[in-house]
Amino acid sequence: MRFSRFPVILTVLFAVCTAFAQTPTPSPDEEEKKLTEKAVELMKETVSEIGNMRTPENRISFMSEAAALMWYHDDRQARPMFGWAVNEFKTLITGYNDRMNMLPPATRSGRGTRSFLFGAEPDERSRLMRKFQVAIGVRERIASTIAEHEPVLAFNFYHDSVSGVSNPELIAMMGQGRQDHVEAGLLEQIAQKDAAKAVELSRLSLRNGYNPYHLNLLRSLNAKDPEKAVEFASAILSQIKNESTEKVVMHAVHSLLVYGGEMLELSREDAQKPPIYSVDDLREISEILARAMLEGDEKGGFRTYAATIEKYNPGRALQIRAKFNIPAPSEAARRGSGIGSGTPAAGYPRSSMTGSGNRPRRNDGSVRAAEDDLIKEFAELAKKDLSKDERAKILEKARETLMSTPGTDKKIIGLSAIATVAAKAGDKELAAEIMRDAAALVPMPPKTYLEFLHTWMLVSGYAEADPEKAFPILEDTILRGNELITAFIKVGEFMEVTEQMIVDGEAQVGVFGGGLIGDLSRQMNMAESSIRSLLKADFERTKMAADRFDRVEMRVLAKMIILRSVLGQKPAGPDEVDLVGTR
């Protein structure tokens, strides 16, 4: 019988692994402390290697991440590391800008010239613009990383990092709307820690004009510090009063008017909640919105605006209705038309979410029942009082089920999970036997990209079930992989004309990287939990395995994965929840 809910079954098996992993061990805090100390020492070594990398893109990627990891454990060391990455990023952006300014004016599309072999051959302008676009995305990631620790520092970096950009094409690429969105997110984070500082920085943000994100910030401030919210609301009003009519973002001003009215009504019901705007302020906002509507050339969507304006400025509402031929609302509409009262209108079909009980189920009932029984049986593995024979019987059934599941990757992952359960339950012989089944599925030595991934899955399985067996496979795979990596980079340099994966002879394995290199990096990142198991078994041997990579960028990537697995989990404080795995 082929089971359709493999992910559910696998989840149950991993949950059982977790249950066994939670069994108390001697001095776990002391063990974690030693592991962290070793990781911090490795960090110092890795930072030195990052500084020796050839391309600024890789140096920026890894140094900013290293700083973020270190911050959880020693912010005094992390700050200069962040400062180094920020300065390097500014230099990179300035270099792009200067090189763009030296180019002659763009011709036609500016995307390069036609090549007989490669189609559109990228010229210097298109290369620089692509690099700048990637850098702008990295800028957001760095700001987001810094904001976890110091939101104000993140905001300043986000502003200052592009302050020297003067090229019109690059300025256009940054997109004001996107920048407003990111800035607003950073300001909201600042508001949670320091409302006064958030208001101060928000005034700078308002220089580019009032936008919907400022209203989100106003809401956050009002929840955190109502007095500072009133101060920021006043700054918003001053800004929109000074904006020219054509620059008024009408939907944003209308939302502000609605929110201000809601807060005024709330303050009348609860004296502890001060209004952010007075009636006179709201009348002034309605006047700004009405003037923008009457003097502008937009045609639609004004019915709701007119109704809101009427509350504070009836005369302007009449003018708007006359100009745009909007009928006055009936008395029933003023009170509420009753639409949405819960009764479906006649002639409208009911939601497809209802009345679906008569449709035939796609899954056969007998298959689902069998799956349910199997899942319940696997869940029994979490019971510590199961006898060895009972556990072996259930594991054997799980093993048979997984071996009948199509897909080599599913078999390897599933068998590894079963072997881990057996090993943690103390049955090393059964665990070894199951892992031999998994190993038989992986060709040795691996030749294709897929076979290398399967080998990595096998190493991950052994890391949990029998770490000593994982090391020889891992070390041999790295040695064989060195030849392939060198060959890949040579071919990549020869074939790739856009410089997305290989720059100046160095693979872009950080956040600037793209294409197959980026996919490979992400595949390696998925193995953090397995790496952690290897580190607990033998930290030095795991570190030596990372040192077996010939190329510096691959060594740094491997060491960063080691560091993430140890330092990447924020220590939970007395009142904090440890969100393991949410990074």
Note the pLDDT tens digit of each residue in 368-380. Answer: 555 565 556 555 5
Query: Residue 424 is encoded by which pair of tokens?
Result: 């943690």
- Asked whether residue 243 carries a pLDDT value surpassing 80, the answer given is yes
- Asked whether residue 89 carries a pLDDT value surpassing 70, the answer given is yes
pLDDT > 70: percent of the chain: 75
Per mean pLDDT, which range of 263-267, 345-349, 399-403, 490-494 is the poorest? 345-349
Higher pLDDT, 376 or 5: 376
| pLDDT in the model for residue 6 | 53
| pLDDT in the model for residue 59 | 93
Burial class (CB in 10 A: 0-12, 13-18, 19+), 392: middle
For residue 115, the cross-strand partners are 119
Higher pLDDT, 404 or 567: 567
Residue 433: which pLDDT band, with cuts at 50, 70 and 90?
confident
Query: Residue 115 is encoded by which pair of tokens?
Result: 């090549």
- Asked whether residue 230 carries a pLDDT value surpassing 90, the answer given is yes
C-alpha 366/C-alpha 382 separation (Å) is 26
Query: Residue 423 is encoded by which pair of tokens?
Result: 């090993």
Higher pLDDT, 325 or 139: 139
Long-range contacts of 179-186 (CB under 8 A, 24+ apart): 180/205, 180/208, 180/211, 180/213, 181/213, 182/140, 182/143, 182/158, 183/155, 183/158, 183/159, 183/213, 184/213, 184/214, 184/216, 184/217, 186/143, 186/147, 186/151, 186/154, 186/155, 186/158
- Asked whether residue 423 carries a pLDDT value surpassing 70, the answer given is yes
| pLDDT in the model for residue 254 | 94
pLDDT > 90: percent of the chain: 37
C-alpha 552/C-alpha 44 separation (Å) is 15
Task: Assess contact for 438 and 411: CB atoms under 8 A.
Answer: yes
What are the pLDDT digits (tens) for 457-487? 899 889 888 899 999 999 999 998 899 888 8
Query: Residue 176 is encoded by which pair of tokens?
Result: 């004001």
What are the pLDDT digits (tens) for 187-206? 999 998 899 999 999 888 88
Averaged pLDDT score across all residues of the chain: 80
Q: What is the DSSP string of 276-313?
A: SS-HHHHHHHHHHHHHHHHHS---SSHHHHHHHHHTT-
What are the pLDDT digits (tens) for 530-554? 888 899 999 999 999 999 999 999 9
| pLDDT in the model for residue 580 | 27
| pLDDT in the model for residue 204 | 84
What are the pLDDT digits (tens) for 37-58? 999 999 999 999 999 999 998 9
- Give the list of residues 6+ apart from residue 579 with CB closer than 8 angstroms, or none: 570
Q: How many helices (H) and strands (E) does the chain have?
A: 26, 4
The Cα-based distances of 238 to 72, 234, 295, 305, 582 in angstroms read 41, 6, 20, 21, 41
Higher pLDDT, 577 or 239: 239
- Asked whether residue 90 carries a pLDDT value surpassing 90, the answer given is yes
- Asked whether residue 1 carries a pLDDT value surpassing 50, the answer given is no
- Asked whether residue 525 carries a pLDDT value surpassing 90, the answer given is no
- Asked whether residue 255 carries a pLDDT value surpassing 90, the answer given is yes
Burial class (CB in 10 A: 0-12, 13-18, 19+), 286: buried
Average pLDDT over every residue of 442-446: 88
Higher pLDDT, 499 or 440: 440
C-alpha 422/C-alpha 392 separation (Å) is 8
Q: What is the DSSP letter of 363?
A: S
Average pLDDT over every residue of 224-245: 92
Compute the residue count for the chain.
Answer: 583
Burial class (CB in 10 A: 0-12, 13-18, 19+), 282: buried
Nearest to 130 by CA among 142, 119, 120: 120
- To which residue do tokens 């990627």 refer? 61
- Asked whether residue 81 carries a pLDDT value surpassing 90, the answer given is yes
- Give the list of residues 6+ apart from residue 494 with CB closer than 8 angstroms, or none: none
| pLDDT in the model for residue 300 | 60
**Domain residue extents for the chain:** 54-104+118-174, 388-567
- Asked whether residue 151 carries a pLDDT value surpassing 60, the answer given is yes
- Asked whether residue 443 carries a pLDDT value surpassing 50, the answer given is yes
Residue 252: which pLDDT band, with cuts at 50, 70 and 90?
very high
Task: Assess contact for 420 and 17: CB atoms under 8 A.
Answer: yes
Average pLDDT over every residue of 234-246: 92
Burial class (CB in 10 A: 0-12, 13-18, 19+), 205: buried
Average pLDDT over every residue of 112-124: 57
What are the pLDDT digits (tens) for 318-351? 998 888 888 776 654 554 444 334 444 444 444 4
| pLDDT in the model for residue 241 | 92
Residue 578: which pLDDT band, with cuts at 50, 70 and 90?
very low
